[in-house]
Amino acid sequence: MRHTLLPITLATLALTSLACREATQTGTHTADQNAESENAVPSDTTPNLPAAPILDGLTLNRLDGNAETLSEVYAGKTLLIVNTASKCGLTPQYAALEALYKDRAGDGLVVLGFPANNFMGQEPLSNSAIAQFCESEYSVSFPIFEKSSVKDEDVSELFARLASATAEPSWNFTKYLVTPDGTITRFDPQTKPDSVEITNAIDKALGAG
């Protein structure tokens, strides 16, 4: 009997020792996992936000020549798109547009400027000169894109889409409020960026977002 018990006892001891080692390793592994979990940087769980459908497939250059894919850069943003000019009676609206952008950018509003020479040659400047003018005269920080056409046969794709959805610009500083769900509201050039009409529409758009 002694000869039979000895192997069983050794086997039992071996199994017990193995179990202890596994338990220790498991406990250590669990502790390591807990420590890693506590120290881990939280992942970004923010859902992907949509971009306005009117931006789909459009890649445009900023004044400095850098290209932007609009549906990626401005996904989830409410946009105020404006055709601008540096030699127009409405050019001082740049100041109100900049103030609006600074005030509401944190809420999800982005003002986008599109210089155009379609109306009485009132944007004769080059892209680099427009950039310098906007910075020196109005300290503009909102995105401004390369000079383009906003009406007629050579109209840019973006403004062709805006015109199809509402109406083409009637003069410099026509404004289009575009929400991520695709709603587009057009404002005449004389409607100031800080008017109750525009600010109320922006409040409503951002509140809906």
Q: Give CA–CA dist 181/202, Å, rounded.
A: 14
**Residue 118 shares a structural domain with residue 26:** no
pLDDT on residue 25: 47
Return the pLDDT at 208.
Answer: 60
pLDDT at 44: 33
In whole angstroms, give the CA distance from residue 95 to residue 82: 13
Cα 171–Cα 148–Cα 191 angle in degrees, nearest 5:
25
For residues 27-38, give the mean pLDDT. Answer: 43
| Shared domain check, 194 and 95 | yes
Domain that holds residue 63: 53-208
Write the CATH number for 82.
Answer: 3.40.30.10
Within a domain: 159: yes
Read off the pLDDT band of 50 (50, 70, 90).
confident
- Total number of domains in the chain: 2
Q: pTM to 2 decimals?
A: 0.77
The catalytic residues are 88
39 pLDDT more than 90: no
pLDDT for 61 beyond 70: yes
In the predicted model, what is the mean pLDDT of the chain?
84
Q: Is the pLDDT of residue 153 over 50?
A: yes
